[in-house]
Chains A and B, each alone.
Chain A
Amino acid sequence: MRRSTPLTIVMLAALAYFLLPLFWLVVASTKSTEDLFTTFGLWFSDAPQFLTNVGSTLTYDDGVFVRWLRNTVIYAVVSASGAALLAAAAGYGFAKFRFRGQAIMSSAVLGAIMVPATALAIPTYLLFAQVGLVNTPWAIILPSLVSPFGFYLMRVYAQDAVPDSLLEAARLDGAGEVRIFFQIGLRLLAPGLVTVVLFTLVATWNNYFLPLIMLNDPNLYPVTVGLAAWSAQAAGGGSGGNSDILALLLTGSTLSVLPLMAAFLLLQRYWQSGLAAGSVKQ
């Protein structure tokens, strides 16, 4: 097919808009605090010091940034794998079996997709405060385990990806339902599963509101709340604040976005096909 140069140029301009802030961030994380204020923002200074900045970011305050990163990884990985497994099992159960009350339960969960996470967060906080779960890792992990949208996606996906004839054949061979799910179902659901894992991973990794209200011990912070705390220090009450922390904040921001980008790039084959299934059905 004939390629269009004007269209390519327009789209490259759009691409520039989306990459510009990230370029700025990478450039900024190579600068000393002084250079941040004295050199042009969108180009490197004469004395780039990315590794020095990384070193000070990782060691500042007894390595608190490393602790935040570790917390984020734990919260995100446990939530995402748990949420995906729960959604896959439920989606499979709803798509491949008929049982009493199914329709009502299904519409209750699907209706929940419309309840915004933050409108739910304050009620969850109030409840968790009563049962002593506030300021523990569970306060972040438990609410992230229930993903109504993940359920929807897996149900739609299981409908087509798991043929009934295959299940019947396995049953005739005498395999139990649980074994069939783990050995056949999960394997066929893999692309949908990766999609739910990735999107829950992003949602938990990037979550700010829930940990902000649930945690007050800095040792439990995920990276988002930690960076926001540094940012508040850097902006500080009018008198210029603690400007030394600015370089750490920007380097920390750069470090915190790299893992997710890598995950998306490496797994793109999976999540794109999983998304396609969710977006054409209703």
Chain B
Amino acid sequence: MSTLSSTKDRRGSAGLLFATPFLVLFVVLFLAPLAYAAYLSLFQTKLVGGTKFVGLDNYARAVADPLLLQGVLRVATFFVVQVPVMLLLALLFALALDSGLMRLARVVRLGIFVPYAVPSVVATLMWGYLYGPDYGPFAQLSRAVDLPVPRFLSEGWMLGSLANVVTWEFVGYNMIILYAALRTIPGDLYEAAAMDGAGAWRIAWSIKLPALRPALLLTLMFSVIGSFQLFNEPKLLQAIAPDVIDSAYTANLYAYSLTFIGQQPNYAAAVSFLLGLVIVIVSYVVLLTANRRRTP
């Protein structure tokens, strides 16, 4: 008995050994920066008086900061509108591809996925030029048929234009995750359902959708994280629409501006922290509501 448990122990420590390099880097590169930022966020540097401990003052300032609230509100709006559209499209595409009812399914699947491999920098540049009111093809077409030129980069349209870029980038990625999950459903389930007289819609609704739950939750969680840290697209469109996108357009853009333009690292650390906290809370709420709906 004792020899058995000692081999088990030795084996257990082998498991820890395999995990150690990852865990060490996790502590150094993940937990340490967070801890350091938490520490920094408790201080303030003033021109007069230097750096001093201020407790939670930075957080108090942040929750009442209209610029931060405006940025959070904007990404929340973005999340509420863009994510359902993106995930619904991804779901419909995945179901269509999996139905076996269409031709060229392979080409379509890879083609829709391709934008994921395009850096967001390039994606935003492309759409930026496509949106252009002077030389963009949409503007050229509108002028050719004497219609008003669509103002994609104006204040009213900007959030929608950003949502379009992000949707373009990530529908394919989400579709592939859902499609991969659909492919793992055993075929005899469909055969049994067909035997019972279920059509394609009925099968999609009663078998495929429930089987997709974990994959849908995964995509939903990634979408929460993605939307709330929106940065690249607005940052790059800022160059061609500086009047619309200010330095606090999204919460993350604001944290960036605070660190690198405003030179307020202590306050920026507090803002980053709060932003991360908001994202974790929203993720949990989304997961909880999604899970609760399963078990009525």
Contacts and interface: CB of A to CB of B under 8 A. Distances in A.
B18 to A, nearest CB: 3
A248 interface: no
B113 A279 contact: no
A103 interface: no
Between A2, A86, A118, A143, the greatest number of chain B beta carbons within 10 A of the residue's beta carbon is seen for A118
Given A112-B30, A142-B29, A14 B102 contact: no
Nearest to A205: B119
Interface residues of A, number: 101
Contact of A146 (B22, B103, B112): B22
Tell me if B's interface is mostly helix, strand, loop or mixed.
helix
B168 interface: yes
Interface residues of B, number: 96
A36 B239 CA distance: 19
A208 interface: yes
Contact of B32 (A98, A127, A206, A228): A127
A104 to B, nearest CB: 11
B272 A123 contact: yes
Contact of A41 (B125, B135, B171): B135
B177 interface: yes
Given A120-B33, A261-B114, A21 B130 contact: yes
Contacts of B37: 122-123, 126-127
Interface of A: 1-5, 7-8, 10-12, 14-15, 17-19, 21-22, 24-25, 28, 36-37, 40-42, 86-87, 89-90, 92-94, 96-100, 102, 105, 108-109, 111-120, 122-127, 130, 142-143, 145-146, 148, 151, 177-178, 181, 202, 205-206, 208-209, 213, 223-225, 227-228, 231-232, 235, 249-250, 253, 256-257, 260-261, 263-265, 268, 272-273, 275-276, 278-282
* 8 cross-chain pairs, A with B, having the tightest CB-CB distances, nearest first: A97-B15, A93-B18, A123-B37, A41-B137, A90-B22, A119-B276, A206-B119, A276-B180
